[in-house]
Structure 1
């Protein structure tokens, strides 16, 4: 029951050297909500040592709120920021002879595209040059999924191992005390349910159908390293 695990990195926690050996791919912050040239280079170098695939993790350009709030920004400014973030990481990757494996939006940008058709179209039109280069990490049964498939993007379905879900498959708001799952055993049980039943148990106790190819564990979740170690132990031995 091997799993594909991804993690958001380069966000200022300096735990990449511990996390990389425990994951399969990483989403590297590229200057929007966190990160700079130095942190991107460091993440790429550590990923090479650990044979971890790399992806760009663009967001609203808002380091104050860590990209977790929708901000007032024009479509053209947002488009420019997104493509600049991705291309900055691509340039670094290219200097090491690497290609981007995927692109995964961050925070409010990611969550908003679950329901926002206009934003999803803007995002996908902005990154159209990457359509044949890499895949998109996106959630199942979302607006961006439907539009990305119509536009011919390669998609990889993502679920969150350390987050609770609402009945509509949106993530429980971080303002809710039950948003995060931080106990390693509880995370493993959450993942087992998803893996074995192809559904997720929501915050309301209901089971909703879901698809996944990769599971995200946030590097800033409490106990993230213990969670990743527990996942590796549990599923590598299954």
Structure 2
């Protein structure tokens, strides 16, 4: 509710997005500064060794682990739209969830949430067919899993329709359009780079759950979790500062999945 400081917020990052000999600077180094990790599953990025290392480190730091499934598009980093049938989306998402789930078992922990990546996530924001397919995939694997979605999105609607838990997410490093969707990365200003702008957004979201769209429109996004992308320049330092800023606002940093611990 606007004007009310939440007692707790989750802080998440997308990671495990290297592949083979190609690694991203600071990728898993963000883990000590977050409470939930969205780990690439091998389609848009990641491989068995990268996935294993990310899950192991997240488990060591008691960070909530999520699968970050995307389109099968390594060349485009999963950020290019693909025309897949509902069944293709379902089976691709099930496959990717299963990969992370297996490594969670290997390291004595469990998978807690699912967050679609890139173009798949953008499609599930507005398209009920794609959103229903993602939600169906999650439910078929484990209905205890939380779906990370955007406030008012088709994915939130379809996940709730199936009785799945939803954690609403807001982005600290992406610009928003007036309709609440993300500004396409191809447009200038789509990514927030300035430390001051990112910290100001974190504080505002902590205070009243709102943020400002690119045209000045105030959006009430009511987040449960805040995301800063692991491939954002200086992500490790930024996340440390975001965490400190949130705590200064009286917010406890806590994985949203912790509420279901032991269930």
- Fold conserved (TM > 0.5)? yes
- The match for 1:99 is 110
Aligned to 2:123: 112
1:151 equivalent in structure 2? 162
The answer as to 2:43 corresponding to 1:32 is yes
Other-structure match for 1:73? 84
Separation (CA, whole Å) in 2 of partners of 1:68 and 1:56: 17
In the alignment, structure 1 residue 59 sits paired with structure 2 residue 81: no
When normalised by structure 2's length, the TM-score is: 0.86
Alignment of 1:1-238 (within 5 A): 3-12=9-18, 13=24, 15-238=26-249
Q: Which runs of 5+ in 1 are unaligned?
A: none
Can you give the 5+ residue segments of structure 2 that lack an aligned partner in the other structure? 1-6, 19-23, 250-263
Change (3 A) 1:193 1:236: closer
| TM superposition shift of 1:14 | 5.0
Deviation at 1:22, TM superposition (A): 0.5
- Alpha-carbon displacement from aligned partner over 1:206-231 (angstroms, at most 9, x marks no partner): 11221100001001112222211211
State the 1:71 CA deviation.
1.4
Tell me the TM-score normalised to structure 1 length: 0.94
Distance in 2 separating the partners of 1:233 and 1:153: 31
Distance in structure 2 (CA, Å) of the matches to 1:49 and 1:16: 16
Count of aligned pairs between the two proteins: 238
Q: How large is the Cα RMSD of the aligned pairs?
A: 1.5
Contact 2:59 2:107 (8 Å CA) reproduced: no
Q: Secondary structure at the match of 2:226?
A: strand
